[in-house]
């Protein structure tokens, strides 16, 4: 029977788009689980073997304190010369000193002396065996490490050095460090005496010169103070600046008051001939306490505004705020003036003599303000002229004072150095002090544990990585769209993963009536019928394809085992029964049948025995009903030659007979790849449906299976375990 060509739009399909998600990784790992296990075992075996073959090492160590001596705090280059004015910083030189001490401990000359001491016990020992080929070799047996210490949140360099030596013999490791300890102590005593003696001679020659420089610097400072009659120019300049600011403020206030008096005097002179009522108004304004208070506030604001305008621009927030305050006070003053004018209309007029008397008082007040202004201007000019000299005086004073302090510090440093050097010459102490003597070496081969632990961690990780790379290389299909594209077949539907503990729920009435009218042995089968909307869609799509050629027999197969074809075949049977179709489901997987296990049926008789039995009278004895509309023909006992039975004429006659008795014959066939069974059964059926498990089957496997079935009536493909 030829294929029926219909447009893809005629199918009832799920249009949701699937994407590759992280859950696909679990499917790849499940399929390649043996690869992960094999790689993990190989890696752990190799690391365990390496751990067994790793050589055991023992480590002995001692701690040496590099004492802070005169040359750590005062190096010869740090002592100021005659022309120096400031002491230099010695922090970087202290760090260099520690580095030099470390290099000295690892020097070949000192290690050679230790080798000489060890020759009596170890005749073949060499410098290279102790030191290694390089001081910076991380695998060198001898290591000198400068410890660190914490002070709060800061990491500081510690003067303690840890000297360690590794060897397979714990006693030898200890003796090497004991020899190095003696060499370090002997060398230290010799070098210390020589360094301190040289340092004392140099310091004694420098002290008289430094004392002379200190006296000269102090004399220069004293002469400067006498010449300018100053003790501290900077402090005195601050006092003068403050006095100048006070005078300028008082001068501005005086000028504002003088201006106010002159304005009042001018107003009286202009209004002296005005009516008595106007005179009374002016007098009331002068005598009003509130008016005078408001006027005083306006004058103060005006003075403050004038002072701030000398320091800031008109856009300054301070200037803007003062202007707003000034406008508000003027409004209040105008209101008070208006009120006094209203009151003045009811009072009696002042005499001309009172106005003249007030005018004379204003003239006297104005004259006193003018005299005060002249005095303040003279004081301002005098202080300003004096301040012009202070910048130069301050610069000279600071230079002389700094020179005195520098010379004093240098002299004090030299005197302290003289005392320290003299004290150390009389002592026999060491620059290198052993804090912890070498002890018997302890086990230090933690590499074995790391190898075993690394194998336990890296093995599974590497196995998972290889499995994922293998799965990606073989291009596992992760979506129904990819399955349709690779197979180039009609997508009959996308079925999600079906739960294995669900019972049939969409045929309650039929199941109830059947149970009432059926023998108890049939009811006790407790058969599971998977149901899902997508299975109904798949069956409807096959019904669309039936016209004009009916598909009375359909084979369900897949490219690989384990893709869920048996469950989908059972689900399609349930969907057909739901649409009032009488269905026979045949398990044609004679090698590894699964249908009877899912339905919990007996497999003592089935297709294999029916193919041997050439009689047609007892066919119904091999069929087991599980539903009023669904019958099951299990695979039966496993035959010796499944190919011979499936390719027999008896198989063809049975399928034709079943097509006449049932509306639909569904055949659960084995996988296409690996055996020829499914190809034989496919040639006997009206239609073939493939099942592709998403995240399980690869593109290559689907393509190979389609190429095998492409010449037969391949209806389409079903995407199983497709997550919508």
* 47 Rama class: left (phi>0) / alpha (psi -120 to 50) / beta: alpha
- Give the phi and the psi of residue 44 in degrees, each rounded to 5: -65, -35
What is the pLDDT, as a whole number, of residue 465? Answer: 76
Q: Lowest-pLDDT range, 102-116, 386-400, 440-454? A: 440-454
CATH fold group of domain 58-191+429-443: Bacterial polysaccharide co-polymerase-like (3.30.1890)
Q: Please, which pLDDT band fits residue 515 given cuts at 50, 70 and 90? A: very low
Q: Tens digit of pLDDT for each residue in 156-175? A: 667 788 888 877 777 887 88
pLDDT score recorded for residue 690:
92
Q: d(Cα 715, Cα 576) in Å, to the nearest integer?
A: 17
| pLDDT at residue number 180 | 84
**165/115 Cα distance (integer angstroms):** 14
Alpha helices by DSSP H, 288-351: 289-309, 317-344
pLDDT band at residue 521 under the 50/70/90 scheme: very low
Q: For 184-203, write each residue's pLDDT tens digit.
A: 888 877 776 676 666 677 77
Average pLDDT over residues 84-94: 51
Mean pLDDT of the chain: 75
Q: How confident is the model at residue 278 (pLDDT cuts 50, 70, 90)?
A: low
Q: What is the pLDDT of residues 551-600, one digit of tens each?
A: 788 999 998 888 889 999 999 999 999 888 999 999 999 999 999 998 88
Question: What's domain 478-500+527-720's superfamily in CATH?
Answer: P-loop containing nucleotide triphosphate hydrolases (3.40.50.300)
Per-residue DSSP letter, 550: -
Q: What is the CB-side half-sphere exposure of residue 246 using CA atoms within 13 A? A: 6
Question: DSSP letter at 20?
Answer: -
pLDDT for res 632: 94
Residue 662 has pLDDT above 90, yes or no: yes
Cis ω for the linkage preceding 548 (within 30 of 0): yes
The pLDDT assigned to 86 comes to 43
CA dihedral 479, 481, 483, 487 (to 10 degrees): -170
DSSP H/E element including 654 = helix 649-661
Average pLDDT over residues 250-266: 82
* Domain(s) of CATH 3.40.50.300: residues in the chain: 478-500+527-720
Give SS3 for 531: coil
Note if the pTM is more than 0.75: no
Higher per-residue confidence, 240 vs 658: 658
* pLDDT band at residue 694 using 50, 70 and 90 as cut-offs: confident
Would you give the distance in Å from CA 124 to the centre of its chain? 55
Q: With bands split at pLDDT 50, 70 and 90, how would you rate the model's confidence at 624?
A: very high
**Tens of pLDDT along 124-138?**
888 887 877 665 556
Percent of the chain surpassing pLDDT 90: 11
- E-only strand ranges, 348-490: 432-436, 442-443
Please compute the mean of the pLDDT values over residues 616-645 and round it to a whole number: 89
- Does residue 659 carry a pLDDT above 80? yes
Query: 296-334, pLDDT tens digit by residue?
Result: 888 888 888 788 777 777 777 878 788 778 788 788 877
């Amino acid at each position: 029977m030829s294929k029926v060509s219909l447009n893809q739009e005629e199918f009832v399909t799920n249009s949701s788009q699937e994407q590759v998600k992280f859950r696909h990784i679990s499917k790849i790992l499940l399929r390649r689980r043996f690869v992960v296990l094999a790689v993990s075992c190989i890696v752990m075996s190799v690391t365990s073997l390496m751990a067994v073959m790793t050589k055991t090492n023992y480590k002995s160590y001692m701690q040496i304190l590099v004492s802070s001596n005169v040359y750590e705090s005062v190096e010869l280059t740090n002592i100021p010369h005659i022309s120096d004015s400031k002491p230099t910083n010695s922090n970087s030189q202290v760090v260099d000193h520690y580095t030099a001490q470390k290099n000295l401990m690892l020097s070949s000359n000192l290690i050679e002396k230790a080798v000489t001491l060890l020759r009596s016990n170890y005749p073949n020992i060499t410098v290279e065996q102790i030191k290694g080929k390089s001081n910076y070799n991380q695998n060198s047996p001898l290591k000198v490490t400068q410890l660190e210490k914490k002070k709060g949140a800061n990491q500081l360099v510690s003067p303690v050095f840890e000297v360690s030596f590794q060897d397979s013999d714990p006693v030898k490791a200890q003796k090497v460090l004991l020899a190095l300890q003696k060499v370090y102590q002997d060398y230290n005593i010799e070098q210390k005496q020589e360094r301190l003696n040289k340092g004392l001679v140099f310091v004694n020659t420098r002290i008289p010169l430094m004392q002379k420089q200190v006296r000269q610097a102090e004399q220069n400072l004293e002469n400067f103070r006498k010449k300018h009659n100053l003790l501290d120019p900077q402090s005195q300049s601050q006092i003068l600046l403050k006095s100048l600011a006070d005078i300028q403020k008082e001068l501005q206030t005086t000028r504002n008051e003088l201006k106010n008096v002159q304005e009042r005097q001018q107003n009286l002179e202009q209004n002296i001939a005005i009516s008595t009522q106007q005179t009374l108004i002016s007098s009331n304004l002068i005598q009003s306490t509130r008016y005078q208070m408001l006027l005083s506030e306006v004058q103060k604001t005006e003075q403050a505004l004038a002072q701030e305008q000398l320091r800031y621009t008109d856009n300054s927030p301070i200037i803007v705020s003062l202007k707003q305050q000034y406008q508000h006070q003027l409004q209040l003053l105008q209101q008070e003036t208006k009120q006094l004018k209203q009151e003045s209309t009811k009072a009696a007029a002042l005499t001309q003599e009172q106005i003249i008397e007030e005018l004379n008082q204003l003239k006297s007040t104005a004259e006193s303000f003018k005299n005060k202004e002249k005095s303040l201007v003279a004081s301002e000019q005098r202080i300003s002229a004096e301040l012009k000299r202070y910048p130069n005086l301050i610069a000279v004073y600071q230079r002389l004072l700094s020179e005195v302090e520098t010379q004093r510090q240098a002299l004090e440093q030299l005197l302290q150095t003289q005392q320290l050097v003299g004290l150390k010459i009389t002592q026999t102490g060491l620059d290198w002090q052993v804090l912890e003597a070498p002890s018997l070496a302890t086990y230090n081969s933690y590499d074995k544990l790391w190898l075993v632990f690394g194998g336990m961690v890296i093995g599974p990780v590497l196995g998972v990585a290889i499995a994922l790379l293998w799965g990606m290389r073989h291009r596992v299909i992760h979506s129904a769209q990819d399955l349709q594209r690779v197979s180039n077949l009609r997508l009959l539907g996308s079925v999600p993963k079906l739960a294995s503990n669900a019972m049939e729920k969409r045929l309650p009435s039929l199941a109830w009536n059947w149970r009432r009218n059926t023998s108890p042995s049939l009811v006790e089968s407790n058969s599971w019928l998977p149901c899902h909307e997508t299975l109904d869609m798949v069956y409807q799509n096959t019904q669309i394809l039936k016209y004009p050629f009916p598909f009375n027999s359909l084979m369900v197969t897949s490219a690989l085992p384990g893709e869920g074809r048996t469950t989908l075949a059972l689900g399609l049977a349930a969907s057909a029964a739901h649409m009032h179709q009488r269905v026979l489901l045949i398990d044609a997987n004679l090698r590894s049948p699964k249908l009877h296990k899912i339905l919990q049926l007996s497999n003592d008789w089935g297709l294999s025995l029916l193919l041997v039995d050439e009689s047609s009278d007892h066919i119904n004895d091999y069929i087991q009903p599980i539903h009023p509309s669904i019958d099951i023909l299990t695979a039966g006992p496993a035959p010796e030659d499944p190919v011979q039975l499936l390719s027999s004429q008896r198989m063809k006659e049975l399928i034709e007979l079943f097509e006449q008795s049932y509306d639909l014959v569904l055949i659960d066939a084995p996988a296409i790849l690996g055996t020829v069974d499914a190809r034989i059964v496919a040639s006997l059926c009206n239609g073939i449906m493939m099942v592709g498990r998403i995240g399980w089957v690869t593109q290559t496997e689907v393509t190979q299976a389609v190429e095998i079935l492409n010449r037969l009536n391949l209806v389409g493909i079903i995407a199983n375990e497709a997550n919508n």
